[in-house]
Structures are given as C-alpha cells and as structure tokens.
Structure 1
C-alpha cells in the first residue's frame, strides 16, 4: 500500500541551496564590516534619520522570498538563496543594536553571536550532506524537480540518468510516467557544463595530489596540538603580567582557555592513535577541531572581534584536510 504523501518533502539539493545562503551571508558580513571600517562608519540619512543597513537586509530577504514564490526552477532557488543570504548577513551584522539598551553596534559579544549563528547553519548543511535513507516521496519529488528543470533548460545526460535512477524499480504509475517524461525532455547545451565539471575534476585531482603525502596529516595534527598549547601558554603569561583581562571580557578568555585545553587533549589522543589506526586518529582530530570551531572560536570572536577570521580560515583548511583524509582512509 502506498504511503500517504507528507506535507513537507526535503529536496535532495537542499544542502546546496543552504550552502549558497551561508556563503553569501558570511561574505556580506565580512564585506560590510570591512567597508564600514575603511570609510569611517558613514551614516545614510540626515535630519535625525539613519537608514541602518538592516533595512537593506530586510529588502533583500523580501526579494528572496518573492523570487522563490514567483519563479520556478533551480536557478530561481539559487538566486533566492543568494539574495536571502546577503540580506540575512546585513541583518545579523547589526545584532549588537538589537540586544543592547544602548543599541551598540560595537557590542563585543556580537561578533561571537554572528559566528555562532553561521556555525550552526554550517553544521545543518553538513548534516544535510550526510548519508540518509531517502523516502519514496523524496525520491519522487526530486525526480519531478529534475523534470521541471529540464522543461525549462533541458537535461544533461548525467542529470537525466540520476533523476531516472531515483524512481527506477517503482511500480507506481506516477513514477513510470516520470521516467517517460524524463526521457522525453530534450538535451541541454552541455558544452559549458562539461567544461565546468572537467575544470572542477582537474582542481580536485590537483588538491588530492597535494594531500597525498602523509606529512599533510602529520602537519594537521601538530597544528591542532601546538595552537591551543600556545593559547594556554599565552594566557598564563598574561595572568602573570596582569594583562589577562581583555576590555572586560575575562570570562570569554577563560572559556577560550578551557576550549584550548580540551582541543589540545583531544588532539594529543588523536595524534597518538594515528600511528596505530588512521581512521581512529582522524576521528579524534576532527573532534578536537570541532571543539575549537563550535566553542573556542565563538569566544575568540568575542575577545578578538573579527581579527579572529584569520585563525578561523586556517581551522577550516585543516578541517578540509581531515575530511579528505577521512574519505581516503574509508576507501
């Protein structure tokens, strides 16, 4: 007996749309902060009026909803995700004004709140990317969505095959009709798509070649041990000199030190396990890095404000290295 259709069916490409939303949001926050700092924080308006950029963010999010409601197809969804991400970035950038009585844009914990918001969205994106058993409704809806894309712009051979595989083997008449529709859709102009995929494949091959030597994994483990160790040593030195309190953010400093200690201990455990079992060692190292990304970095942004972006960038590179090594070991 067929299952009753549910009200909400998750799109197979949901992670792609959310990833575009997050990247546009992060880029907007960083560009906005850089622009305002470079121009001396100008104000738009006059005569007692100030048009805050949160209003522009609201307009962009309204435009994103409008695009999603009015237009069909994946191109519209990507456009909506990018507009919404940029609008959300302008909105969350002014969070300090919303949570303080003085409407303080420079409220120090605001940077940590902004970071934590996007960190949670990244975790959700990774969860959506993860392996999951697709329901029949989800597979059918994705096949229909691919057919909709094909009606608008045609389908490449790969898109057609992947969509047909979603409903292959089903005895339902609607699924057989979807297969006939997918086969009837004309081919897309695949030259540009093929060139893009070929370029992406060459880039992945070069990056894999860079990661092939075992020293890259060793370097990642040493980084995860040394960086938190230096943080702890620096905090101890500042406590001796009396400079430990950063502009009244001593509690945030204590959390940073605690997270650094946790990261260092987990990293030492992972480095020791690497000599016995690469898979186990990489799991411990990734756990150590996540402790820093989801706890330590939140309060590093509170203490160091957006100067913490550089350390975050290195952490993300190390996370990517560990992820590639994990896939290699699993293969």
Structure 2
C-alpha cells in the first residue's frame, strides 16, 4: 500500500449525507420511509484510497450512487473540488462527470451486449468532446486498451467474447477515458475469480501511481481493503461506526462491529485461523438507541459511541 498523499484540500468532501426510500404506508396512513444512509460524512484526498466496508445492506453502495449523483440524496452535501453536487441540474453535472467515474460490481451488466468494446470505450470521448476525427479517436481508445492490459486488436469484439477479468478491464478503460480525478469502485472484484482479483487490484494501484487517482473503494473483502486502502470507514445500518487509517482499523479496532467483521476474515496461516476466536455482534442491541457521536480515540481514528455527546 502506498503512503498517504501530502496534506491538501480534499478532492471529495461528504457532509451529513442522508438517503431515504419510501417503505409503504403506515397503519395510520402516513408514508413510511427507510433511511438507508444516515448522516454519513468523510473526506477523500487526491491520490488517496478510502475503503468503505460493511455487510450487505449497510448502505455502502447507496453512498456510492449518491456521491456520483446517480441517486439524489435526501439531505447533506457532496463537494467535489469544493463544488456542491447536491441539487445541481443534469446539465450542470455533465462537465463534472469527466472528473468522477464509477466502476460497477458486475462487468457484464455494465457493458452493452450489442456494442463492441471499442465503441463502448470511445463513447464518453464522443459524448464529452463532440465529433473528432475517427483515427484520432481510435488512437486514444487503443492507448486506453494498452493502459489496462488489453490487446487493441480486439476492439471490434463484443462483451461475450471476453472473460470476466477482461470485461472489467474494459470498464476500467472507459472510466479512464476522460482522465478523471476520482473513481468510485463499487465492489469491482467481487464477481471475479480469486486469481483475477489480484490482477485487477494491481492494475488499479498502478493507475493510481501513474495518474494520481483517488478511489472510493467499496468492498466486503477486508483482506483486499487492507492491501489497497489508506483509510477505512466501517458502515452499519447506514452509519459510519468507525473510521481511521487502515493500520489503526486492522490492528486496533475499537467498535464491536468492526471487531466482529475482522474476526470473520480468513487468515492465510491455517494455524492462526484455527486458533482465532470468532466474535459476534448483534445489531439488534442498538435498536431504540440514539445514533451516537464519533469520538477520536487516537489521531485520525474515530469510533461511534452511544449516549449523550460530551
């Protein structure tokens, strides 16, 4: 894992992000809502990787989609280079799409089966830059293919002709097409074979070193998060319950939910795996309690405590 980038104004600043979904009508006829994201706040520096982890349903992917404005937040702010994206019209957001891109979990679902992979990667260039000479366009697409380790001779092929790892490389090439500063990676390796996962992670790290990319890396694979991320934020029921430098989270976890997640992570050493105690966390114990407040336990390491803020 690379060292932390030098201090500078954050590329991305999320403040009090909330997202509600309708959950049907209550017994009294009032409209019930489900709060999927509840006041999430974090920053992301240029060239940094922030890991967002938690069980399925914790709100990780909803945060990703709200950051990208693929879903409109119910409340809070999302500042990209100091500009608040919340409430912006689609026309105002369009030039900012070049700055931020997303890589989804399933590369096959991300690709248009009727479109060649060359056209798929060329599309954002044509959308944002208008009509450019075909040879200049294809030269850029070939360069993008080379950058992600794909053979440019296969530009005319369709998605079904590629393996899962190759399809994800195509998606990464498209994300890079407009030279973004921020990439939101929403479970980008979950659908891939284990051997291919390492290749994709190494590619992402190489691109970060070369281009200074910032990643919001969403995953439930704590081993991979530990390997790639500078900082980690742990989500539970739409809340961040612990956040800090990766080493602090993995060596000095304080929240019982974080400790339970770490205890469930498989160890490469069989002896250590057999001797490790499994911890269990029952989220029901938080029912009826206030959302709590974040307390700094060591520099940059915050843990949610429940009760009245002091």
User: TM-score scaled by structure 1?
Assistant: 0.27
Structure whose alpha-carbon radius of gyration is higher: 1
More helix by share: 1
- Which of 1 and 2 has higher RCO (CA within 8 Å, sep 6+)? 2
